[in-house]
Structure 1
Amino acid sequence: MMKYLALFLGILSLPLSAETSLSTTAESRTQKWWMPRHQEKLEQKKVLGDVQLVFIGDSITHAWENKGKDVWEKEYAPYKALNLGYSADRTENALWRIENGEVDEISPKAIVIMIGTNNAGHRDEPSEQTALGIKAILDLLEKKQPEAKILLLGIFPRGATPEDPKRILTDGTNKIIETYADNKRIFYLNINNTFLEENGTLSRNVMKDLLHPNPDQYQVWADAIRPQLGQLLATKH
């Protein structure tokens, strides 16, 4: 009996594999607002009609609906854009949403993805594991939306300095996900220097909490991705 207990405990102590990683295992959330938002998005895409552009992400993307609303209306509403950003989401939550219909029955030309900061922020997840979660999202989108071009953004900077532990984690993830680009279907773009000082520090004038862009930074974001996103949106299916 003790032998089997020791074996069981030993199995529990093993590091998560790619197959069992939390970041790659689709998971819904229990917050009261989260599932209603999911249902709302399933309906919204029907109302929008010809959705040509989709954003997938966490609170930073979610905030296009408030802090970045005016910029969204000017830059992305003409493309009947769908905002699939959810505050506090990690890669596994985005996976669940994609698995459960959020990009079904639409034919976007481009999908913008920026997610992973909460994997680091919520559980200090190693960069490699967060990158696996992002890879799982890309793989699922290849099945769900094989014709869409994907603009994969580097996770935005966080923390005041390059030495911030969570900045180190997200920078590490960015170095890995950069390799996912094939420049045919998946395109990688890191615009972090747009937000940072020359010495790599992050000002509270840019991100008050050193994580979420201030309202005026949503135009900065749109300006930084416009050239490449414009090319992807101009591509014919």
Structure 2
Amino acid sequence: MPRLQKYAASALILASLAGCSLFRAEPLPPMQTVNAVPQSASWTKDWWEQRHAEKIQQAKSAKVDLLMLGDSITHAWETTGAATWEKFYGQRNAFNLGFSGDRTEHVLWRLQNGAVDNLVPKLTVLMIGTNNTGYRMDPAGHTAKGIEAIVAEIRTRLPESKILILGIFPRHHSPHNEMRQRNNAINRQLARLENEPRVFFLDINNAFLDEQHNLRSELMPDLLHPNEAGYEAWARAMEPAIRRLMY
């Protein structure tokens, strides 16, 4: 998908242009900025662009103190995790900018195209990258660069917001699975972003694992997405950081 490849490239080039400090030892391929939503995937027309437009409209009148940004795992706070969202965030002026299927390049495009223009959150929670692994098995360093570019974009567009980067959640039952290990490698690189002002990293993956580091299927039945109990476990594990950073 040539347009998607160009689209992915914008996430990586931003990291280098913004003067980001991590991963400079790896040379970046030639890239160019993408100015349009990629049209090669039908879901962009079916619902993705509409959701983007709706969220921009909602943001114009919303008071947002807590912003959550990510892929389907964040998106499903509106469905599977709705009861837990109301319990933990209903009184916190929370706003959900999770989009199913998103990879780092999609989040970056949304930020560059109005997603947060009317928002002034106290805290932005970001979790993205598992689809970079799942769809393309992107190298860990490339995905981490994309996330670093997103963080740089958030800092530019939401300068008063603290940023909480969540470690990418575990996937697959076994700790030896290649995708699990790829996500773990990304998380190890993301932890170093805490050196940036107002940026924090939190890994709550143990909340979803048993003593042998196997993924608990009673929390993630499909070995990727939390169920209702999984969202409760997520919220409880994240709560101390939310309290510390919001107040």
Query: Structure 1-normalised TM-score?
Result: 0.86
Separation in 1, partners of 2:215, 2:34: 32
Question: Is 1:35–2:45 an aligned residue pair?
Answer: no
Pair 1:123–1:161, CA change in 2 (3 A): same
Measured after TM superposition, the shift of residue 182 of structure 1 is 2.7
Pair 1:43–1:180, CA change in 2 (3 A): same
8 Å Cα contact 1:27/1:92 also seen in 2: no
Q: Letter of the 1:36 partner, please give it.
A: Q
Separation in 1, partners of 2:129, 2:35: 14
Question: Is 1:45–2:59 an aligned residue pair?
Answer: yes
Measured after TM superposition, the shift of residue 131 of structure 1 is 0.2
**Structure 1, residues 181-220: CA drift from partner, whole Å, max 9, x if none?**
1374001000000100111111221211100011111111
Question: Is 1:89–2:102 an aligned residue pair?
Answer: yes
Measured after TM superposition, the shift of residue 79 of structure 1 is 2.1
What is the aligned partner in structure 1 of residue 223 from structure 2?
210
8 Å Cα contact 1:57/1:113 also seen in 2: yes
- Quote the sequence identity (%): 44
**Structure 1, residues 156-204: CA drift from partner, whole Å, max 9, x if none?**
0001111111111101000000000137400100000010011111122
8 Å Cα contact 1:157/1:211 also seen in 2: yes
**Other structure's SS at 1:197 match:** coil
Q: How many residues align structurally?
A: 217
Separation in 1, partners of 2:202, 2:240: 11
Question: Is 1:72–2:85 an aligned residue pair?
Answer: yes
Aligned positions of 1:95-110 closer than 5 A: 95-110=108-123
Separation in 1, partners of 2:118, 2:49: 19
Pair 1:138–1:161, CA change in 2 (3 A): same
**Structure 1, residues 21-79: CA drift from partner, whole Å, max 9, x if none?**
79x9787354110000001100111232x211100000000000000101111211222
8 Å Cα contact 1:26/1:92 also seen in 2: no
Measured after TM superposition, the shift of residue 18 of structure 1 is 3.2
Computing the radius of gyration from Cα coordinates, the structure with the larger value is 1
8 Å Cα contact 1:38/1:97 also seen in 2: yes
**Structure 1, residues 116-151: CA drift from partner, whole Å, max 9, x if none?**
000000001110000000000001111101110011
What is the aligned partner in structure 1 of residue 174 from structure 2?
161
Contiguous gaps of at least 5 residues in structure 1: 1-15
What is the aligned partner in structure 2 of residue 11 from structure 1?
none
Pair 1:161–1:205, CA change in 2 (3 A): same
Shift >4 Å, 4+ stretches: 19-22, 24-27
Question: Is 1:18–2:34 an aligned residue pair?
Answer: no
Pair 1:68–1:27, CA change in 2 (3 A): farther
Measured after TM superposition, the shift of residue 81 of structure 1 is 1.1
Separation in 1, partners of 2:205, 2:241: 15
